Amino acid sequence: MTIYSFKSVGQTQDQIVSSSVSSSPVPYGIKTPMQLGSSEGIFAMNYSLEDQFADNLRNLLLTNWGERVGLHQFGANLKPLTTEFVSQEDFDNRAVERIKSAVDRWMPFIELEEFSSTIDRIENKNTAIVKINVTYTIPALETPKKGVQIVMYVI
């Protein structure tokens, strides 16, 4: 006669499935600028695709050529436009071209909707603040129109 201990019996399939299904959301990427996270991890994370894409788009627009190691052409390359600043109309046209080109190449799933920019001059200084607003949608996710704003300084 063989004696079996019930403590050595494994889990049922229902127990395995219920223990493997996690109720916590899955992170898609690290939020930038980087911040300390809460109990889930070291860094704050994006838990929705919309937030991750917004973060990635802002980083794409703020990156200039040569700043990303191994991907020299990554970015919208907007900073050189601030040193060549002649008029707002010329700046807007060239910025729209660069943004459209970068998004088409690196984030083709984003559909750009509108572009606007404002220039605030700082009195008694030869500096201006250029605020660029870009609205977009993500058709594959059926997102409503979202926007991102970047701020640049013209010296």
**Domains, the chain, ranges and CATH?**
23-154 (3.10.450.40)
Reading the block at residue 65, the tokens are 């050529």
The 8-class DSSP code of residue 68 comes to: S
Burial of 60 (0-12, 13-18, 19+ CB in 10 A): buried
The neighbour count for residue 142, using CB atoms within 10 Å, is 7
Report the pLDDT value the prediction gives residue 59, as an integer from 0 to 100: 95
Count of residues making up the chain: 155
Report the pLDDT value the prediction gives residue 21, as an integer from 0 to 100: 61
CA dist list (Å): 29 to 10, 32, 61, 91, 106: 36, 9, 18, 33, 17
Provide the residue-wise pLDDT of the chain in tens; the chain has 155 residues.
667 666 656 777 777 666 666 667 888 999 998 888 776 678 999 999 999 999 999 999 999 999 989 999 999 999 988 887 767 788 899 999 999 999 999 999 999 999 999 988 877 777 888 999 999 999 999 999 999 999 988 77
Report the pLDDT value the prediction gives residue 139, as an integer from 0 to 100: 94
